[in-house]
């Protein structure tokens, strides 16, 4: 069984750019993962979302720079999870009526497929009964 956790796009941005936006529980769990040398999994859609937000001028290009540096750092085990066939098929297990946004469904499907908890502030994802959510 895998150990570690999955984080959504906001959590990724806040973890590398603005820790004050994370809940105490989320920050503690992230710190524990780093201290225990566990992987912190990031769906490829999160990187795509960050690039999109930079392109639209909604977030600073510095966010993308810091996220990429964090992914390359040996101090934090950030692992980019590609969107593959297995995760694509697991998407069917994420209720579209509960979580309508495609990127959020992909992130939730990633956590579900990996059988790992997901750190997210998103209330729609938190409403899913088949994923363990940390916030």
pLDDT in tens, 9-61: 999 999 988 899 999 999 999 999 999 999 999 999 999 999 999 999 999 99
Mean pLDDT for the stretch of residues 96-122: 97
Instruction: Give the CA distances from residue 132 to residues 31, 80, 127, 135, in Å, rounded to whole numbers and listed in that order.
Output: 18, 20, 10, 10
Q: Which of 21-25, 38-42, 75-79, 90-94 has the lowest mean pLDDT?
A: 75-79
Mean pLDDT for the stretch of residues 69-90: 93
Taken in order of first residue, the domains within the chain and their CATH numbers are: 5-134 (3.40.50.1010)
Nearest-angstrom CA–CA distance, 77 and 119:
15
Nearest-angstrom CA–CA distance, 28 and 57:
31
What local confidence, expressed as pLDDT, does residue 112 receive? 97
**Which tokens is 50 given?**
């960050």
Residue 110 has pLDDT above 90, yes or no: yes
Residue 76 has pLDDT above 90, yes or no: no
What local confidence, expressed as pLDDT, does residue 74 receive? 82
Residue 1 has pLDDT above 80, yes or no: no
What local confidence, expressed as pLDDT, does residue 89 receive? 98
Ordered alpha helix ranges (H), 1-135: 9-17, 24-35, 44-55, 61-72, 85-90, 102-114, 123-126
- pLDDT confidence bin for 63, thresholds 50/70/90: very high
**Which tokens is 126 given?**
């938190």
- With left for phi above 0 and alpha for psi between -120 and 50, is residue 22 left, alpha or beta? beta
């Amino acid at each position: 069984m895998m150990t570690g956790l999955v984080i959504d796009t906001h959590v990724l941005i806040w973890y590398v750019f603005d820790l004050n936006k994370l809940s105490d529980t989320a920050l503690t769990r992230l710190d524990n993962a780093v201290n225990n040398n566990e992987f912190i999994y990031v769906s490829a859609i999160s990187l795509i979302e960050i690039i999109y937000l930079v392109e639209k001028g909604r977030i600073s290009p510095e966010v993308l720079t810091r996220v990429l540096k964090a992914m390359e750092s040996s101090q934090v085990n950030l692992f980019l999870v590609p969107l593959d066939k297995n995760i694509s098929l697991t998407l069917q297990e994420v209720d579209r009526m509960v979580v309508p946004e495609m990127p959020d469904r992909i992130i939730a499907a990633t956590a579900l497929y990996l059988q790992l908890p997901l750190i997210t502030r998103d209330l729609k994802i938190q409403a899913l009964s088949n994923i363990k959510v940390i916030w």
